[in-house]
Amino acid sequence: VKLTSNRYYLDFNATSPFAPAVTSWLAKGDFAFGNPSSVHRTGKVARRLMLEASEALFELFQLPEHQFDLFFHSGASEGINTCLKGFACDAFKQDKRVSIAVVGSDHSSARQVREDLIFHGHEWIVLEVNREGELEVDKAIEKIKAAKYPVLLNFTWVNNETGVVFPLEWAKRIKEQTGCRVHVDAVQAVGKIPNWCQLLPELDAYTFSAHKFGALKGCGFTFIKPDLPFHPLIRGGGQQKAYRSGTENTLGIQSIPIALKELKTKYNFEEQNQATRWLENKMLELIGERGEVLGQKAQSRNGNTIDFRLDQTPAQTLAMALDMAGVDVSNGSACSSGAVIASPVLLAMGRNEEEAKSAIRLSFSAYLKLDEVREFYPIIESILKRYIP
């Protein structure tokens, strides 16, 4: 948990340091720099490395290559925008409309797409979660059945703020019962749940982001079924079967399977979850009735996240105190500019404005150990005690 910065970095859902295997690979310093579209040898080397990365990903995620295409992009915000807008744009050019269904607790890169689609006449559907942050599957099915147009559902496998898991089987059931298509935001699954690399081939698309699991920033990838209606977001030289034009980020792409292969062999969910839950229980003992851990009673949770709040204590107060004590955490209610807003995820979970401005998220490495948690718990304890009378 302690990094070269000599701080306790407890914000792995925001981004991660390089995986050890990626650091060793980077240290070699000899990289293929060619443009994968070039016809000369240098370009071909880069192309080969990219294809090898792509093959490795199909193997890792156990998806049949004849059922899916794979394209790389700049990260999940782009991947999600591409899938949702691509589905809508394909209909629009035939003078048709679509219905996009998102969940109230989805990441902003899905929720904010609304602004770009409704003025073209597409329908925007927001599905509900309960107080634990779990999708109301039956209500979702009803809403999707009542949609005006063909539906694409954005389904977040693991929530970035609460760590609540929506099992992929739920998405499969929704698809079977409504005939909708499903894009899975799989960003927060990697290194946080036991079955992170077991994707269901029945679903239509999956988007991942490299910097969330120790690979390079500015890179991500999407598995997509060729028959999912699609129109590219980024136009240009037609690279990657025209799914995403632009010279590929070969270095970022190569780093992805390096990080994932290491994770697959070393990740131990039980160990991570045991450490996380130990800390959570200690914190709950302190907090008692004067706050809560969000999603604590959800049926399925990830192994690395504790999203908590104290009554009458704004998130920035706690986050600042922890920061001064050398602990990096996320203030769930900070937007990218750092301004404090009520967390849309907590609002979707039925919390009021004040409550939604008080969440702090601790999120840990895939390799978290009980010993480490025991080491930094006293710091957290002393800060919490300051605010809990």
Ligand X SMILES: Cc1ncc(COP(=O)(O)O)c(C=O)c1O
Binding site for ligand X (CB under 6 A): 75-77, 107, 109, 156, 160, 185, 187-188, 209, 220
Spell out the alpha helix ranges (H) of 40-75: 41-60
Instruction: Specify the residue, 248 or 376, whose C-beta has the smaller distance to ligand X.
Output: 248
Tell me how far, at minimum, the Cβ of 217 lies from ligand X, in Å: 8
How is 8-38 classified by DSSP, letter by letter?
EE-BTTT--PPPHHHHHHHHH-----S-TT-
CB 130 within 8 A of CB 294: no
Instruction: Specify the residue, 38 or 112, whose C-beta has the smaller distance to ligand X.
Output: 112
Burial 10-43 (b: 16+ CB within 10 A, else e): bbbbeebebbebbeebeeeeeebebbbeeeeeeb
Instruction: Specify the residue, 91 or 216, whose C-beta has the smaller distance to ligand X.
Output: 216
Based on C-alpha coordinates, what's the Rg of the chain?
21
Instruction: Specify the residue, 221 or 376, whose C-beta has the smaller distance to ligand X.
Output: 221
d(C-alpha 97, C-alpha 118), whole Å: 10
Tell me how far, at minimum, the Cβ of 384 lies from ligand X, in Å: 26
Instruction: Report the residue closest to ligand X, judged by CB.
Output: 75
Tell me how far, at minimum, the Cβ of 77 lies from ligand X, in Å: 3
Tell me how far, at minimum, the Cβ of 110 lies from ligand X, in Å: 7
Handedness of CA 360, 105, 176, 88 (dihedral sign): negative
C-alpha distances (whole Å) from 243 to each of 58, 156, 226, 235 are 17, 22, 10, 9
Tokens of 116: 């770009």
Select from 137, 78, 138 the least CA-distant residue to 109.
78
Q: Position of tokens 């782009």?
A: 78
Instruction: Specify the residue, 75 or 86, whose C-beta has the smaller distance to ligand X.
Output: 75
User: Tell me, what DSSP letter sits at residue 340?
Assistant: B
C-alpha distances (whole Å) from 377 to each of 117, 164, 303 are 46, 23, 17
Tell me how far, at minimum, the Cβ of 32 lies from ligand X, in Å: 24
Tell me how far, at minimum, the Cβ of 270 lies from ligand X, in Å: 24
d(C-alpha 194, C-alpha 172), whole Å: 19
Instruction: Specify the residue, 77 or 343, whose C-beta has the smaller distance to ligand X.
Output: 77
Tell me how far, at minimum, the Cβ of 338 lies from ligand X, in Å: 15
Tell me how far, at minimum, the Cβ of 160 lies from ligand X, in Å: 3
Tell me how far, at minimum, the Cβ of 164 lies from ligand X, in Å: 11
Number of H-type helices and E-type strands within the chain:
13, 13
Instruction: Specify the residue, 185 or 262, whose C-beta has the smaller distance to ligand X.
Output: 185
Instruction: Specify the residue, 104 or 291, whose C-beta has the smaller distance to ligand X.
Output: 104
Tokens of 30: 């000899």
Instruction: Specify the residue, 34 or 106, whose C-beta has the smaller distance to ligand X.
Output: 106
Tokens of 288: 């008692």
